[in-house]
Amino acid sequence: MFRIFYIVFSSSLLLWPGSSFGQEFEALDKELVQSSILNKHYYGFNLYDLDSNRMVYGRNADRYFTPASNTKVFTLFTALKHIGDSIPGIEYVERGDSLIFWGTGDPTFLHPKLDNRRVYDFLKYSDKTLYYVPQDNVDGSYRNGWAIEDYKYDYQTDIVPFPIYGNLVYFRSDEGRIKAMPSYFEHALAMRKFSTRHFAIDRQIGSNVFELSNANIPKSYRTRKPFLWSDSLFVQLLSDTLGREVVLLPSYLRPDDVKTLYSVPKNRVLREMMLPSDNFLAEHLTMVAAHQRFHAFLTDSLRYEMNEQYYAQFNDSIRLFDGSGLSTYNKVTPNSMISLLLTLEKEIGDEYLLRMFFPAGGVDGTLKRTYTVDKSGPYVWAKTGTLSSVYCQSGYLLTKSGRRFAFSFLNNNFVLPASVVRRELARIVTYIHQNY
């Protein structure tokens, strides 16, 4: 499925080295080689000078790593290539007194931070009978390489044709009881309780019954849990929130005159995906992009096509199995991450907009507490990636002297706490900022 290609972006990019540097970067090399943290695990790093258009430093830059949420940079690029200015919210046709509609994968519908109510109001105030048509979720609700035992955590929700409420139930304490939003799930709270030291809510796999532990409920208790999505449950939830009946229409061939109702501006959703590293948004933006490209949720086909059209031009091949980075099967090199960052810079063409999509060190997102801010502002804009024994950063760096770099720093197979590796990575990147 994937092949290795070696081509030239420019004369300076031919066969980027795995470990190389000029005399100028001997001091940087010493910082890495003598690090008591980095040399206890597997890491790769490279540094590309954006102003001179050349790779200036590399160590293990052609080795393969699990990128975790650095995968979302590929999803960002995919969305920019395949989704227009706004997210397609629903597709629909009107036939007599009927409004028939299909999902597009849009993750913003009734999302607590993103929904602009355009689709909701359109459905709620239509004077026609509402019919929802299911679609084949070709690649399934989970991706290859996901940990099945993580089904109960809010970072691994079902991937579905028509998400609702972010595919999460929001629980909170209320005068000694548990309230749920959407309220439909309050009847699904189990009477059977399990033993825990601290109060918790759990859900068994393959079920939408939520069990309460036997500990006392804290007054400020809040949690989010994924629910098991189905077409019938979606119709029930949608009917409840609209206050009117939605009919499940098992089969209806999408006609040529189908219309699209758009919801939220694309860039707003992309920023929300990138800054807090939202897996739900990443996977469903991939669904939206695939639907735009193929009129079906063929995400594997979209990844293959993106590889053939764009990533095959990178010096190192890549392997991607999802859009969020939850898959441990994903494999990239620091070289390929630099290639992607350069491609993204060219695609966007506006440095301010480019930086807007990445967490800014010391300011927001997943880098808010990782870096400090200079008097002139932040100097790192990078996507993080964290899994068990994985911590990565790839993005853009501005030095005190005004030099602009792209960098990729990938770390795998450590047993130290991720916070220790994160601090050491930040120390190295800050060293570059201060000395180059």
Residues 84-124 have pLDDT tens digits of 999 999 999 999 999 999 999 999 999 999 999 999 999 99
d(CA 25, CA 166): 46
The pTM assigned to this predicted structure is 0.93
Instruction: Give every CB contact of residue 208 below 8 A, 6+ residues apart in sequence.
Output: 185, 188, 227, 228, 233
Residue with token string 């160590």: 59
Per-residue tokens: 47: 């540094």
Query: Does the pLDDT at position 270 exceed 70?
Result: yes
The pLDDT assigned to 22 comes to 74
Measured between alpha carbons, how far is residue 172 from residues 57, 181, 199 in Å?
Answer: 50, 9, 12
Which domains are seen in the chain, by residue range?
A: 11-81+271-435 (3.40.710.10), 84-265 (no CATH)
| Average of per-residue pLDDT values in the chain | 93
Q: Which amino acid is at 350?
A: D
Higher pLDDT, 16 or 27: 27
d(CA 73, CA 127): 42
The pLDDT assigned to 191 comes to 59
Query: Does the pLDDT at position 325 exceed 70?
Result: yes
The pLDDT assigned to 87 comes to 98
The pLDDT assigned to 192 comes to 67
Query: Does the pLDDT at position 140 exceed 90?
Result: yes
